[in-house]
Structure 1
């Protein structure tokens, strides 16, 4: 893979990303630059490859071609929460605190309060509703205060109030200079983004 440089004022750059499942090209030369302090979105039909793109950007998948460069810490929130069903919410938070080498749980406590799931801290995640599991998933992605956030439909299963709270959090992060990329299939979210791209036929185009 070729090396790329992140332009001044940007937090992430991807150049010529290619990825195929068997012979089907999911990403066919995707270019993307995410600026600092930008709330951006990638929209597209189900099966268009949005989740694959996010997994490549986060480093979870190695692309068949192209390269990605990211400046600073990265937080990722996959579409499906990857949680151990027998561990409580509190145990997940403490495990990730240790993994991130954080001195305490101050940031995660703020997120727990904002997202409203403090009553479930000692409940095994396997007993939580899908929406509450997704709140835990989002908190784990944000608790180390990353500079770049890659979020795959992070509000899936949220009620309306929590959905609006998510956008409040996203806007606050953007205003603090964080770079936030949200993958969504919901076209009505378009007005919330500073920048919008549409993924179709493996190519990323301006979505405005």
Structure 2
């Protein structure tokens, strides 16, 4: 497969369960070696895996501080902006074990974005979101595109294909660009 993800582009990949979407993201993120080929990446990378990278006993803010140290960033200003934008700043002092799946996913997304990456890889990023948060997600994705971030959204379906600059279908390890015919859902 060949995929160019340029700055200021919002790209989607859809595929059925087992098609290799998560494996592809792990290869792109550098977590898994490819059998062959080359992945070239420029710019700071952010990755939001399908499975959250959260510790049950930590609070939301403890996660932010842990990732602040890991990223080497001096301020949590961007993280707090994201908490507000995703409307879960009231949960800052709650432990992850008490959060709903959708709120955990909001934290997972915040951790992927708080260091202001130039390339963002998202695996089923809106899983568990209510409708309002789902819409805020797309507003956030559009704002990232406007800021010049390259955003890749991987999912088993794309309800809002019209929001994407390009949509690909992954089937049996083959990546094909699809026609974006409008706002209807693309399912595989």
With a CA cutoff of 8 Å and minimum separation of 6, indicate the structure with the bigger relative contact order. 2
Q: Return the offset for 1:101.
A: 0.9
2:118 alignment partner in structure 1: 147
Q: 2:70 aligns with which of 93, 99, 107?
A: 99
Choose 1 or 2 for highest CA Rg: 1
**Does residue 127 of structure 1 match 2:115?**
no
CA RMSD of aligned residues (A): 0.8
Q: How many Å separate the matches in 2 of 1:100 and 1:146? A: 11
Secondary structure of the equivalent of 1:103? coil
Q: How many Å separate the matches in 2 of 1:201 and 1:83? A: 31
Q: Return the offset for 1:188.
A: 2.3
2:24 alignment partner in structure 1: 53
Q: Return the offset for 1:171.
A: 0.2
Q: Deviations over 1:127-172 (max 9, x none)?
A: 1100000000000000000000000011100000000000000000
Q: How many Å separate the matches in 1 of 2:100 and 2:174? A: 35
Once superposed, which parts of structure 1, at least 4 consecutive aligned residues long, lie more than 2 Å away? none
Q: How many Å separate the matches in 1 of 2:172 and 2:19? A: 7
**Does residue 186 of structure 1 match 2:150?**
no
Cα 1:155–1:187 change in 2 (3 A) is: closer
Q: Return the offset for 1:53.
A: 0.5
Q: TM-score, normalised by structure 2?
A: 0.93
Q: 1:113 aligns with which of 84, 105, 114?
A: 84
1:33 alignment partner in structure 2: 4
Q: Return the offset for 1:47.
A: 1.3
Secondary structure of the equivalent of 2:167? strand
1:42 alignment partner in structure 2: 13
Q: How many Å separate the matches in 1 of 2:39 and 2:94? A: 38
Q: Which segment is superposed worse, 156-165 or 113-122?
A: 113-122
Q: How many Å separate the matches in 2 of 1:45 and 1:200? A: 7
Q: Which segment is superposed worse, 115-124 or 158-167?
A: 115-124
Q: TM-score, normalised by structure 1?
A: 0.84
Q: How many Å separate the matches in 2 of 1:41 and 1:125? A: 29
Gapped regions of structure 2 (runs ≥ 5): 180-188
